[in-house]
Amino acid sequence: MRGHISAHAVCTAIREDIVSGVLPPGSRLIEELLAGRYGVSRVPVREALRTLESEGFVTIRHHAGACVATPTEREAADLLDIRGLLEPLGAARAAARRTTAHLKVLRGVVRLGRERVRQGQRAELRQLDGWFHETLAQASGSASMAALLTQLRRKIDWMYAVEPPVREDRSWEEHGAVLDAVARGDAERARALMAAHIERSRPAYRLRRPTAAPAVREPKQSVNTLRAGN
């Protein structure tokens, strides 16, 4: 039933459509149309739009209503700068606070990444890379930092297309080196290695050139059945 679907689930669904480009920058977000699109009432849609406004994905104007935000090139560049400061800090914290469970997951991800590179199976590498960075953020022991890094990665994925590394083996060797420093509890080395890793990956990010589109009117599968990931 429409009234029983949470604003969080609706927020996740709308955010995914924004990040994937289904709802391009500048698109009008009309509550009634979104409610029909996701199979929900207008109440969770309204709450979701307020949350997405606070995250920077949506702009709400009193008389004009809501639309998908249109970030500037400066705002996009700032995100990469912020990542370059925050992820090394997260790696340093992870070296001091990680658990055995975190290390087990990180080692498994690095092992899988290296295997996929050796086998030439590149389809999963982007997902594995995200898994590595997200787990490292969780290992920082700070829920606030993990949430900030998750939001940051979403917005970077929204604003940038990422070209695969020329040498994917090198990228996964760098992941392995960060993991080794974290496992040894060497916070300063973990921080330095992560900072170098991010700086080397920066040229791979290409700013998307979005074109505005009208609000999407086609009905969509109910949010009840959507993947509630992210």
- Give 211's pLDDT tier (boundaries 50, 70, 90): low
Protein fold of 73-207: Four Helix Bundle (Hemerythrin (Met), subunit A) (1.20.120)
Does the pLDDT at position 217 exceed 80? Answer: no
Question: Between helices 7-20 and 42-55, what is the axis angle to 10°?
Answer: 60
The pLDDT score that the predictor gives to residue 222 is: 52
Nearest of 172, 228, 230 to residue 9 by alpha carbon: 228
- For residues 205-210, give the mean pLDDT: 79
The torsion defined by the Cα of 116, 121, 126 and 128, in degrees rounded to 10, comes to -30
Report the alpha-carbon distance of residue 125 to residue 117 in Å, rounded.
8
20's CB contacts (< 8 A; 6+ apart) are none
157's CB contacts (< 8 A; 6+ apart) are 19
- For residues 159-187, give the mean pLDDT: 90
- For residues 30-45, give the mean pLDDT: 93
- For residues 145-156, give the mean pLDDT: 92
The pLDDT score that the predictor gives to residue 122 is: 82
Q: Which two tokens stand for residue 124?
A: 């999963």
Phi, psi for residue 220 in degrees, rounded to 5:
-125, 160
More confident residue, 166 or 135: 135
Domain residue spans in the chain? 2-70+210-225, 73-207
Does the pLDDT at position 230 exceed 90? Answer: no
- For residues 161-186, give the mean pLDDT: 89
The torsion defined by the Cα of 50, 51, 53 and 57, in degrees rounded to 10, comes to -140
Does the pLDDT at position 143 exceed 90? Answer: yes
pLDDT above 90 covers what percent of the chain?
Answer: 69
- Give 163's pLDDT tier (boundaries 50, 70, 90): confident
The pLDDT score that the predictor gives to residue 221 is: 52
- For residues 69-85, give the mean pLDDT: 93
CATH number given to 2-70+210-225: 1.10.10.10
The pLDDT score that the predictor gives to residue 166 is: 62
Indicate the pTM of the whole model. 0.79
**DSSP category for residue 206:** E
- Give 149's pLDDT tier (boundaries 50, 70, 90): very high
